[in-house]
């Protein structure tokens, strides 16, 4: 690329974000400071070194502000649906194949922003939140092209599962169990058991340590984990749910009952998913 192409992509993010940082120094600290970066800065999008570098700078600036005792969270967004360049012009090639499984809807983005703001108000937010990265299991299930970053040692934890290790687990059989359920109570119990198993899998803890009487957030489920839980619910239970609902102070058992109610409505309509 030319130097002008490099500068045109990096200047708004680098100089623009630095200007905002200098506008709010220590004596003018804010309740929250959110930088919208890109997951390209994490894995280095081929052919977009300028854009990736600019995103990595924003991640670094968030860490720098936190070291100064100032508020800052860098949110590395992946493929945005509904709004933005791809929504307006349409995705092509690998992006088109990936957006269905990794894309973020506008309402999910709003839920993520609420969670990030609330986390900063409580002073317990992460400095960097990454979205839009696929695991080997997601690639295997969706049939999407395998991202190049999964072959790099830095992302080995995302590449550990090829999608076959959990074929006998609750996440793989919950759909079949729900189709065979005879009552709403049975549906609620199946969802509760599957939700407990999913949370235990994500947190790498025994299922016996996950209490359905406690809300999800009490197990450290932040906005990033909530997005993974939401994707699983939509895929396996076929009920649409927002990030905000997942992060509410509602016991998991009660949350599962709510999903069961919506699942029943969706099945009665015969459309496969309640929305």
Instruction: Give Cβ neighbours of residue 139 (< 8 Å, ≥ 6 apart).
Output: 145, 146, 147, 150, 163
> Tens of pLDDT along 117-165?
999 999 888 899 988 887 787 777 777 777 777 777 777 777 765 444 4
- In this structure, are residues 253 and 269 in contact, taking their beta carbons and an 8 Å threshold? no
Provide mean pLDDT across the span 204-222.
Answer: 81
pLDDT on residue 7: 93
Which of the four pLDDT bands, split at 50, 70 and 90, describes residue 168?
very low
Provide mean pLDDT across the span 167-185.
Answer: 68
- Report the interhelical angle of 184-203 vs 252-269 (nearest 10°): 130
3-133 and 170-268 share one CATH topology?
no
Residue 52: pLDDT over 50 = yes
Report the Cα 122 to chain-centroid distance in Å: 21
* CA torsion through residues 261, 262, 266, 267, sign: negative
Q: What is the mean pLDDT of the chain?
A: 80
Which of the four pLDDT bands, split at 50, 70 and 90, describes residue 197?
confident
Query: Integer distance in angstroms from the first to the last C-alpha of the chain?
Result: 45
Convert 217-240 into a string of H (helix), E (strand) and C (coil). Answer: HHHCCCHHHHHHHHHHHHHHHCEC
> Tens of pLDDT along 22-51?
998 777 779 999 999 998 888 887 778 999
> Tens of pLDDT along 94-113?
556 666 667 788 888 888 89
- The residue among 82, 145, 128 whose CA lies nearest residue 109 is 82
Which of the four pLDDT bands, split at 50, 70 and 90, describes residue 166?
very low
CATH fourth-level superfamily of 3-133? NAD(P)-binding Rossmann-like Domain (3.40.50.720)
Instruction: Give Cβ neighbours of residue 21 (< 8 Å, ≥ 6 apart).
Output: 61, 64, 65
Structural tokens at position 64: 């720098």
- The residue among 243, 239, 260, 274 whose CA lies nearest residue 113 is 243
Helix/strand/coil for 36: strand
CA dihedral of residues 23, 27, 32, 37 (deg, nearest 10): 40
pLDDT on residue 70: 92
One CATH from 1.10.760.10, 3.40.30.10, 1.10.1200.10, 1.20.140.10 for 170-268: 1.10.1200.10
pLDDT on residue 161: 53
- Report the interhelical angle of 106-121 vs 223-232 (nearest 10°): 150
DSSP state of 28: G
Structural tokens at position 239: 């009920």
- In this structure, are residues 246 and 226 in contact, taking their beta carbons and an 8 Å threshold? yes
Question: Which residue ranges make up each domain of the chain?
Answer: 3-133, 170-268
């Amino acid at each position: 690329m030319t130097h002008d192409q490099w500068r045109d992509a990096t200047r708004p993010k680098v100089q623009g974000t630095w200007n905002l940082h200098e506008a709010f120094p220590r004596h003018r600290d804010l309740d929250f400071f959110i930088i919208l970066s890109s997951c390209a800065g994490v894995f280095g999008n081929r052919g977009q070194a300028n854009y990736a570098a600019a995103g990595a700078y924003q991640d670094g600036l968030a860490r720098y502000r936190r070291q100064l005792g100032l508020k800052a969270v860098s949110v590395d967004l992946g493929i945005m649906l509904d709004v933005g360049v791809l929504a307006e012009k349409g995705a092509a090639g690998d992006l088109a194949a990936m957006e269905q499984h990794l894309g973020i809807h506008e309402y999910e983005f709003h839920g993520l922003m609420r969670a990030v703001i609330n986390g900063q108000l409580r002073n317990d937010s992460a400095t960097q939140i990454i979205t839009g990265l696929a695991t080997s299991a997601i690639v295997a299930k969706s049939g999407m092209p395998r991202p190049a970053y999964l072959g790099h040692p830095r992302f080995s934890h995302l590449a550990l599962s090829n999608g076959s290790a959990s074929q006998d687990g609750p996440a793989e059989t919950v759909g079949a169990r729900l189709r065979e359920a005879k009552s709403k109570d049975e549906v609620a119990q199946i969802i509760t058991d599957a939700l407990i198993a999913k949370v235990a899998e994500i947190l790498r803890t025994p299922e016996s340590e996950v209490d359905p009487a406690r809300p999800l957030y009490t197990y450290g489920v932040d906005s990033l984990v909530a997005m993974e839980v939401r994707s699983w619910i939509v895929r396996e239970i076929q009920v649409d749910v927002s990030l905000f609902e997942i992060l509410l102070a509602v016991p998991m058992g009660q949350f599962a009952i709510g999903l069961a109610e919506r699942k029943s409505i969706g099945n009665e309509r015969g459309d496969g998913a309640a929305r």
